[in-house]
Amino acid sequence: MVDTKVDLCGITMDNPVIPASGTFGYGYEFAELYDINCLGTFSFKGTTKEPRFGNETPRIAECPSGMLNAVGLQNPGVEKVIKEELPRLAEVFSKPVMANVSGFSIDDYVYTTELLAQQEQVGWLEINISCPNVHGGGMSFGTDPCMAADVVKAVRKATGKPLIIKLSPNVTDIAAIARACEEAGADGISLINTLMGMRIDPGKRKPILANTTGGYSGPAVFPVALRMVYQVYDAVSIPVIGMGGISSAEDVIEMMMAGACAVEVGAANLVDPFASRDIIADLPRVMGNYGISCLRDIIGAAH
């Protein structure tokens, strides 16, 4: 019998698999397909202070071994999420959920964090300072250690619940930004968000995406994500959540050996809605293949 339990910022999860924000909606959509209580938890759709329609279409472009998206944080706004989405989620999910918070100013982050942190269902707050698909905010906070620290300090005052800061790979020194977040009061780091990319339609002679650029995700980014998780694990003493191209139980093991105590599964959910469920189901077999009896024992093993 293997032990798949992990601890994330003081909360024990049955397994380390977390569907990533933006790929799992508010959970109940997937609950129509299977019992989502098999998940460790999930990070619900990025939520902002005000409702957002998102970017113009086209928003999605296919790529070899992945996809580009420029959805632009479409969501109904934090007050509607609390009033309508979370009650629906409570009907199908009995575990603490991870709330993903996005913003365009520090005040935005604080406002949304305060409201979501008051919800009993919310176990962790994932503060997204790394979205590449919005203008006037998002990733700009996550590309400079001082700006990242300013956001963390502000939201730290807004809640005592665990704060996990989601970082961008579109930087020169991700370890420096992770350290700045830890020093400012972060309880954990999640990485990586998507890589910036684009596609061009040769027939139309213009970018495929209305936003011109988008976030590249999928299996092709896994080696980049793995490298950055490895670096950040060495740079901080707080938990790390690894994400980026994870699509199998083998990938989970590799990411945990790089230093992740949990993982997020993103694009794979869009290709196969059962991806996260199937990865969890396959974990015991893969653990057995490598002689792993307890997942907690392999965190950072490659160091």
> What is the pLDDT, as a whole number, of residue 140?
62
Q: Are 252 and 264 in contact (CB under 8 A)?
A: no
- Catalytic residue of the set 9, 131, 181, 261: 131
> What is the pLDDT, as a whole number, of residue 123?
98
Tell me whether residue 181 is one of the annotated catalytic residues.
no
Token pair for 75 = 């969501």
Give the mean pLDDT of 184-207: 96
- Across the chain, the runs of DSSP E, i.e. the strands, are 6-8, 11-13, 17-19, 60-63, 66-69, 97-101, 122-128, 163-166, 188-191, 195-197, 200-201, 206-207, 214-217, 240-243, 262-265
Judged against a pLDDT cut of 90, whether residue 139 lies above it is answered with no
> What is the pLDDT, as a whole number, of residue 73?
87
> What is the pLDDT, as a whole number, of residue 131?
58
Judged against a pLDDT cut of 50, whether residue 107 lies above it is answered with yes
Low-confidence winner among 166-170, 223-227, 244-248 (lowest mean pLDDT): 166-170
Write down the mean pLDDT value for the chain.
94
Percent of the chain whose pLDDT exceeds 90: 91
Judged against a pLDDT cut of 60, whether residue 133 lies above it is answered with no
**Tell me: the pLDDT tens digits for 284-295?**
999 999 999 999
> What is the pLDDT, as a whole number, of residue 142?
75
Judged against a pLDDT cut of 90, whether residue 135 lies above it is answered with no
Percent of the chain whose pLDDT exceeds 70: 97
Judged against a pLDDT cut of 50, whether residue 177 lies above it is answered with yes
Q: Enumerate domains of the chain plus CATH numbers.
A: 6-56+73-199+218-298 (3.20.20.70)
Q: Cα(273)–Cα(192) distance, rounded to whole angstroms?
A: 21
- Parallel, antiparallel, or unpaired: how do β-strands 206-207 and 122-128 relate? unpaired
CA distances from 301 to 64, 140, 215, 234 (A): 31, 33, 30, 12
> What is the pLDDT, as a whole number, of residue 223?
98
pLDDT band for position 126 (50/70/90)? Answer: very high
Give the mean pLDDT of 65-85: 94
Judged against a pLDDT cut of 60, whether residue 134 lies above it is answered with no
